[in-house]
Amino acid sequence: MEEIKNKIKDLEDKYGIGDLDLSKINLENINAGIEGADKLIEAKKELDKAQIQLAEGQAKYDMGKDALDRGIKQAQEGELEYKENYEKYLDGLRQYEEGLKKLEDSEKELNEAKEKLDKGEIDYDRAKLKYDENYKKFIEGKSQLKSGREEYERGLENYKSGLKDFEEGETKGKKQLKDALYEINKGQRKLDKGQREYDEKSLEADEKIKDGLDKINDAKRILKILSQPSYEITPRHLNEDINTYIDYAHRVDLLSLVFPVFFFLISMLVCWTTMTRMVEENRINIGTYKALGYSNRQIASKYFIYGESSALIGGIIGALIGAFALSRLIGNSYSVDTIFEKNLIFKFYPIRTLFAIIVGLLATGITAMISVYASLRNNAANLLRGPAPKGGTRILIERIKPLWKRLSFLQKVTARNLFRYKKRMIMTVIGIMGCSALLVLGFGIEGSVKGIKDKQFKQVMKYNLAVFYDREIDKKSFDKFKEGIKKDQRIEKYASFNMSNFKSKFNKIDQDVSLVVPENLEEFSEFYTLRTRKNKKEIKLTDRGAVITEKLSKLKKVKIGDSLEIKDKDGEIYKVQISGITEMYVGHNLFMTPKYYEKVFGKNFVSNCEALKLKNPEDISKISKDFMDYKCSTSTMNVSVLEKILDNFMSSIYLVVATIVLASSMLAVIVLYNLTNINIEERKRELSTIKVLGFYPKEVTSYIYRETWILTIIGIGIGLLVGKILHYGVLQVVVPYMAMLDPVLVKRAYLFSALITTIVTFFVMLIFHKKLKKIDMVQALKAQE
């Protein structure tokens, strides 16, 4: 700002402009001042260019004028020398004339005396005295004549000397005068040429100077509006953007506590079931090893090493995928539209990787050891025989006789089998529940993000463009601006607002709060919808308080009737009474009436922007550019830009959701495949028996999968409920401070979750249908022997 002032002062000194009188302004118009200063610098460049051209013409004129002055000076010096010699000549001539006159007087007296002598000697005596006197006078006159002659001769010599000097001076002066006249004519020609160039370019230069002066005057007027800017020093650790990104990372960390826990728990269940089943299938082998003299430790080490090897290989592969694939995917997704996008440095974290592998090793190793040592408690003879069948027990449904009597034989068998294998039933339900819950969470997050776009930009904010202005910059331009909005056929509706930025502190970081004050309350509902999120009840603006957004109320932990402190750009703190809490998904907003605005801030309400609803939103860029051409316009807010940012965020969320869906589907496949495989292996004799009894392949598959479908449906039902709870909890954790996602779970999240789980179950059923057809009935029936 100081540099701009110095440049304007230089221009003022150069063109005779008065001192600039800087006044205070609102910081919200500082951009307009800087833009005016930029224009002033451009005007100065044009003035400098014109000044250079003018200076070139002036230089040529000065060169001609200097040559003329030198010639005149030389002529004047010659004329002065001539005058001095001429004066010397006149002095000699005057002395000569005076001597000549004295000589003539003396000769006259002599002639008179001689006449008297010739008249007669008579008068000799009488005149002798007079003669002597006259003779004396004659002698004196002669002496005077002689001295006059000498003076005459000296004057003549001086005259001749002066005449010679005069002639020499005259010759020299004429030569100098001639040279001077040549230089004068040469300079005159240059002067004429410079004058012609000056005449040709002076009009253009005058026009540019006039434009420059107009721009300087405009800049003066703008600077009178501008106030001295206030500066706020924000250390890097309190920078809002950096802390927002760090907050994103922190929330991803919190999210990482959800997914790994679910996956680890389900994986541990699968490992427990698989290892337990493997040990049970190898019961006879374990008995053989024991009969051959192998120690319990040696026998257990075989299964322990097998389980640990599987866990180690799977853990290493999973850790590498998680460290370099999933972390890159999620990191880049959360870095969209930041300087970190595609610039993140991904490192390998040995401690975390080791922890994940150790958890897998413990899950398989401990399971293997418990299962093996449970079998090794029996002696070799018992282990070489098959396990005794468990005694039958009555299940709960049997006690409900009206219901039990109405069940068919196969339905009763299915019910008994469900409760007969309680461990497998619980694990199947938990596995399906976890997969369904994760699917509900993934689709729920996608639905929450996708839903806010329509709600935010079509239901809550209903305008396309906001044009900000300052009427004090140029009142004529402001009048034309208002007239232009009225006449523009591309605009459907428009309204005047005062939109200002404030701060509200939360967790040591200032949150941006946008104040929105409508000039006309009747037109306000055409551009904003204030309503509660849950029951969509309309909220009216009153003169008793302000309406704040739901996310801001949650951050500040305030409710209707409480007061909220906000801080302006100068650090002044104001208290605002809360009269309502409205639905808003992007940003923090504060709505109030003009009267309440004047009451809170102690100044008259003045609008500073126009909100525009366009007939064709595709014209928004052209309309924005057209209105920015007015001098009074300071900036625009394009709502479509906010929509684009949200679209980018949604694209990132879609990647995360796709990852969740893919991982959950794979987990569901693994859970169902393992548990179904165990179920079939344990019941080979039973399945062979019913095949011998005449059951067709489809009936055999239905016999097994009727149980699986029931457990899957139960798991899906519980998973949908858990997913709803999980979705709500995750949204409270992962959403950034300045945004809010709709916690209402969309119906398609339930539908897609149930559908994908059902498809996975059906896919696994097709796989085992082929396996059931290939069961060797004879081998299965005699295996116990």
Q: What is the pLDDT of residues 586-616, one digit of tens each?
A: 889 999 999 999 999 999 999 999 999 998 9
Q: How many CB atoms are located within 10 Å of the residue 599 CB?
A: 13
User: What was the pLDDT predicted at 53?
Assistant: 66
Mean pLDDT of 692-721: 83
Q: Residue 207 falls within a domain, yes or no?
A: yes
Instruction: Report residue 741: phi and psi, to 5°.
Output: -100, 150
Give me the helix-helix angle, 240-256 and 697-734, nearest 10°: 150
Same structural domain, 139 and 268: no
User: What was the pLDDT predicted at 6?
Assistant: 59
Same structural domain, 291 and 171: no
Q: Residue 587 falls within a domain, yes or no?
A: yes
Would you give the DSSP letter of residue 538?
Answer: B
Handedness of CA 702, 706, 712, 713 (dihedral sign): positive
Is the pLDDT confidence value at 669 over 90? no
User: What was the pLDDT predicted at 742?
Assistant: 78
Is the pLDDT confidence value at 781 over 70? no
User: What was the pLDDT predicted at 389?
Assistant: 61
Handedness of CA 457, 463, 464, 468 (dihedral sign): negative
CA distance 107 to 383: 189
Same structural domain, 187 and 304: no
Highest mean pLDDT among 34-48, 388-402, 705-719: 705-719
Is the pLDDT confidence value at 582 over 90? yes
Place 9 in a pLDDT band, splitting at 50, 70 and 90: low
CA distance 750 to 437: 9
Element spanning 662, H or E: helix 639-682
> E strands within 531-608?
546-549, 563-567, 573-582, 588-591
Mean pLDDT of 348-376: 83
- DSSP per residue over 442-457, as a string? HHHHHHHHHHHHHIII
Give 546's strand partners.
578
User: What was the pLDDT predicted at 23?
Assistant: 43
Among 101-110, 395-404, 504-513, the minimum mean pLDDT is found in 101-110
Q: Residue 432 falls within a domain, yes or no?
A: no
Pairing of strands 633-638, 563-567: unpaired
Q: Residue 273 falls within a domain, yes or no?
A: yes
Range of the domain at 283: 235-388
Same structural domain, 37 and 182: yes
499 against 266, higher pLDDT? 499
Q: Among the three residues 354, 372, 388, which one is the final residue of a domain in this structure?
A: 388
779 against 268, higher pLDDT? 268
CA 295, 299, 302 angle in degrees (round to 5)?
145
Same structural domain, 244 and 205: no
Q: Are 597 and 564 in contact (CB under 8 A)?
A: no
Distances (CA, A) of 753 to 102, 373, 659, 666, 748: 151, 40, 14, 13, 8
User: What was the pLDDT predicted at 21?
Assistant: 44
pLDDT digits (tens, 9 = 90+) for 207-260: 777 777 767 766 666 665 555 556 666 666 666 667 767 776 776 777 777 777
CA distance 389 to 683: 12
Percentage of the chain lying above the pLDDT 70 cut: 74
Handedness of CA 53, 59, 65, 71 (dihedral sign): negative
Q: Look up residue 115 and give its amino acid.
A: E
User: What was the pLDDT predicted at 566?
Assistant: 92
Mean pLDDT of 576-585: 93
Q: Residue 754 falls within a domain, yes or no?
A: no
Q: Among the three residues 638, 662, 687, which one is the final residue of a domain in this structure?
A: 638
Q: Look up residue 280 and give its amino acid.
A: E
Q: Which residues contact 88 (CB under 8 A, 6 or more apart)?
A: 158, 161, 162, 165
Q: Which residues contact 286 (CB under 8 A, 6 or more apart)?
A: 279, 299, 372, 375, 376, 383
Q: Measure CA 576 to chain center.
A: 30
Mean pLDDT of 516-539: 91
Please state the three-class secondary structure of 226-293 as a single string: CCCCCCCCCCHHHCHHHHHHHHHHHHHHHHHCCHHHHHHHHHHHHHHHHHHHHHHHCHHHHHHHHHCC
What is the number of domains present in the chain?
3
Is the pLDDT confidence value at 777 over 60? no
Same structural domain, 240 and 166: no
113 against 281, higher pLDDT? 281
Q: Name the one residue in this structure whose structure tokens are 């996310």.
A: 551
User: What was the pLDDT predicted at 393?
Assistant: 66
Place 553 in a pLDDT band, splitting at 50, 70 and 90: very high
User: What was the pLDDT predicted at 150?
Assistant: 76
User: What was the pLDDT predicted at 595?
Assistant: 94
> E strands within 383-535?
465-469, 491-506, 509-518
Mean pLDDT of 366-380: 83
Same structural domain, 242 and 189: no
Same structural domain, 216 and 248: no
Instruction: Report residue 424: phi and psi, to 5°.
Output: -65, -35
Same structural domain, 175 and 63: yes
Instruction: Report residue 393: phi and psi, to 5°.
Output: -135, 155
Place 131 in a pLDDT band, splitting at 50, 70 and 90: low
776 dihedral zone (left: phi>0; alpha: psi -120 to 50; beta): beta
Instruction: Report residue 408: phi and psi, to 5°.
Output: -75, 175
- Long-range contact list for 480-485, CB < 8 A, 24+ apart? 480/630, 481/627, 481/630, 481/632, 481/633, 484/626, 484/627, 484/630, 485/610, 485/612, 485/627
Same structural domain, 120 and 265: no
Would you give the DSSP letter of residue 602?
Answer: S
Q: How many CB atoms are located within 10 Å of the residue 154 CB?
A: 14
Is the pLDDT confidence value at 718 over 90? yes
CA 134, 140, 143 angle in degrees (round to 5)?
140
User: What was the pLDDT predicted at 398?
Assistant: 76
User: What was the pLDDT predicted at 321?
Assistant: 83
Mean pLDDT of the chain: 77
Percentage of the chain lying above the pLDDT 90 cut: 16
**Domain of residue 163, CATH code:** 1.10.287
User: What was the pLDDT predicted at 383?
Assistant: 78
Give 257's strand partners.
none
244 against 405, higher pLDDT? 405
Reference 105, options 138, 128, 136; nearest CA is: 138
Mean pLDDT of 473-481: 87
For 338, the token pair is 């930041």
Q: Look up residue 584 and give its amino acid.
A: M
pLDDT digits (tens, 9 = 90+) for 622-655: 999 999 988 889 899 988 887 877 777 777 777 7
User: What was the pLDDT predicted at 3?
Assistant: 54
Instruction: Report residue 427: phi and psi, to 5°.
Output: -65, -40
Pairing of strands 465-469, 491-506: unpaired
Q: Residue 680 falls within a domain, yes or no?
A: no
CA distance 118 to 139: 20
Mean pLDDT of 661-672: 81
Q: How many CB atoms are located within 10 Å of the residue 692 CB?
A: 12
Q: Residue 603 falls within a domain, yes or no?
A: yes
Place 120 in a pLDDT band, splitting at 50, 70 and 90: low
Q: Are 576 and 545 in contact (CB under 8 A)?
A: yes
Same structural domain, 130 and 240: no
pLDDT digits (tens, 9 = 90+) for 54-99: 666 566 656 756 655 665 666 566 567 656 766 766 776 677 677 6
User: What was the pLDDT predicted at 498?
Assistant: 94
pLDDT digits (tens, 9 = 90+) for 306-321: 888 888 888 888 888 8
Q: Residue 778 falls within a domain, yes or no?
A: no
User: What was the pLDDT predicted at 18?
Assistant: 44
For 274, the token pair is 């698989």
Mean pLDDT of 174-180: 75
CA distance 686 to 563: 73
| Reported pTM | 0.61
Reference 302, options 359, 373, 385; nearest CA is: 373
Handedness of CA 511, 524, 450, 638 (dihedral sign): negative
Q: Among the three residues 601, 617, 638, which one is the final residue of a domain in this structure?
A: 638
Element spanning 162, H or E: helix 122-225
Same structural domain, 78 and 163: yes
What is the b/e burial string over 394-419, where b = at least 16 CB atoms within 10 angstroms of the residue's CB?
Answer: eeebeeeeeebeeeeeeeebbbebbe
Instruction: Report residue 520: phi and psi, to 5°.
Output: -120, 115
User: What was the pLDDT predicted at 609?
Assistant: 94
Distances (CA, A) of 52 to 47, 108, 198, 230: 9, 83, 12, 38
